[in-house]
C-alpha cells in the first residue's frame, strides 16, 4: 500500500481541503476546524478519557512520558474503538499530508490535561532526537533548522473541553514553522512573544498544526478542565514516538482497516 492509497481508502480526496485552508496551513502553520467532533462522539471521548485516568492512576501516560502539572494518557489507539476516528479523520489526514508533502505514519496518540497551576511549557517544536536512528541525524534535533528545510512532523489537537484564555490554551507564533528553532531566536523561551496567539475554541474543535511551529501550553489558572487528544504524525523514514508495532494489540489490529494499519505502520504484525 502507498500513502496515497491509504488516504483514498480513508476518504481523503483533492477536494477535502479548500484552497483557503491550504493557504492557512502554508502561511500560519496551523488550521482550525470548529465542531469537527459531533456531540455524541465528543461525550464518548470525554467519558473514555476520564475512565482511563481512573483505571490507570499513577501509570497513566507511561508508555510515552508523564509531565509534572498535567494528567497524561498514551497509547490511545489501543484503548478503545472510540479513538479510531481521531487519527484517521479525512480532514485531519488531508491537512497532515499537505504539511508533510511526503509519506508519513502515526507517531503516537496521547492525551493531556493541565491541572490548576500547571501546564506551562516553554516555546518548542516537536522535533527531537527520540525520533532518530543514528547520531548523524541529530542535526535535526531542533538545535538548528534552516527556514527552507523539509517538514517532518505534524500534530492535531482534539479539544475535549473549551480552550480558554485562563485554562491553559496552547499558544503559537503564526508563521514560525519557517523559522529556526526557538532556542536560537529567544533568550528566554518561557517569555511571551510579540506575535503569539492563543488557540482558543469550543469543545469539539480540532486544530491541525505543523509541529515545527513554535508552540507551548499555557498555565491553567482557572482550574477548569482542558482535556485534549494529540494524534501525532511523522515522516515515514523516521522512528515513531511510540513504537506502534511493539504496542499494537491483536484486538486493535483486527478491528482497524488495512489503511489504518498502514498509518500505524503495523502491517503484518499478526
Grid coordinates representing 268? Answer: 503484518
Is the residue at 270 inside a domain?
no
Bin 174: left if φ > 0, else alpha if -120 < ψ < 50, else beta: beta
Q: Looking at residue 227, what is its pLDDT?
A: 98
Is residue 50 one of the residues assigned to a domain? yes
Residue 184 belongs to some domain of the structure: yes
CATH number, domain containing residue 203: 2.60.120.620
Question: Which residue pairs from 25-28 have beta carbons closer than 8 angstroms and sit at least 24 positions apart in sequence?
Answer: 25/95, 25/98, 25/99, 25/208, 25/210, 27/174, 27/175, 28/174, 28/175
241: phi then psi, degrees, rounded to nearest 5: -60, -40
Structural domain for 86, as ranges: 3-264
Q: What does 102-165 look like in DSSP terms, one character per residue?
A: S-EEEEEEEEEEEPTT-----SB-S--GGG-SSGGGGGGSSS---TTSPP-EEEEEEESS-B-T
Q: Judge whether 269 lies within some domain.
A: no
Residue ranges of the chain with pLDDT lower than 70? 128-145
- Asked whether residue 20 is domain-assigned, the answer is yes
Q: Is residue 142 part of a domain?
A: yes
Distance from C-alpha of 30 to C-alpha of 213, rounded to nearest angstrom: 8
- 211-245: per-residue pLDDT in tens? 999 999 999 999 999 999 999 999 999 889 999 99
Nine cell digits for residue 261: 494499519
pLDDT at 171: 97
Judge whether 235 lies within some domain. yes
Given this model, what pLDDT does residue 141 score?
A: 44
Contact 97, 10 (CB under 8 A): no
pLDDT of residue 21: 98
Q: pLDDT tens, 185-204?
A: 888 999 999 999 999 999 99
Task: Say what the pLDDT of residue 186 is.
Answer: 85
Domain total for the chain?
1
Amino acid at each position: 500500500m502507498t500513502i496515497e492509497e491509504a488516504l483514498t481508502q480513508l476518504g481523503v480526496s483533492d477536494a477535502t481541503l479548500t484552497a483557503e485552508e491550504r493557504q492557512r496551513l502554508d502561511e500560519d502553520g496551523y488550521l482550525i476546524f470548529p465542531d469537527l467532533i459531533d456531540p455524541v462522539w465528543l461525550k464518548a471521548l470525554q467519558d473514555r478519557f476520564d475512565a482511563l485516568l481512573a483505571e490507570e492512576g499513577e501509570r497513566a501516560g507511561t508508555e510515552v512520558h508523564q509531565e509534572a502539572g498535567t494528567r497524561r494518557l498514551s497509547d490511545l489507539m489501543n484503548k478503545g474503538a472510540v479513538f479510531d476516528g481521531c487519527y484517521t479523520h479525512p480532514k485531519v489526514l488531508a491537512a497532515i499530508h499537505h504539511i508533510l508533502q511526503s509519506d508519513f505514519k502515526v507517531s503516537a496518540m496521547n492525551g493531556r490535561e493541565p491541572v490548576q497551576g500547571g501546564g506551562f511549557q516553554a516555546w518548542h517544536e516537536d522535533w527531537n532526537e527520540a525520533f532518530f536512528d543514528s547520531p548523524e541525524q541529530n542535526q535535526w534535533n531542533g538545535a538548528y533548522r534552516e527556514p527552507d528545510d523539509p517538514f517532518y512532523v505534524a500534530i492535531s489537537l482534539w479539544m475535549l473541553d473549551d480552550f480558554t484564555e485562563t485554562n491553559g490554551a496552547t499558544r503559537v507564533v503564526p508563521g514560525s514553522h519557517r523559522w529556526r528553532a526557538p532556542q536560537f531566536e529567544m533568550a528566554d523561551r518561557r517569555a511571551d512573544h510579540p506575535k503569539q496567539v492563543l488557540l482558543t475554541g469550543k469543545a469539539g474543535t480540532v486544530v491541525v498544526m505543523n509541529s515545527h511551529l513554535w508552540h507551548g501550553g499555557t498555565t491553567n489558572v482557572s482550574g477548569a478542565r482542558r482535556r485534549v487528544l494529540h494524534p501525532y504524525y511523522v515522516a515515514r523514514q523516521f522512528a515513531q514516538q511510540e513504537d506502534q508495532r511493539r504496542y499494537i494489540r491483536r484486538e486493535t489490529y483486527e478491528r482497524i482497516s488495512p489503511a489504518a494499519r498502514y498509518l500505524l505502520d503495523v502491517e503484518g504484525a499478526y
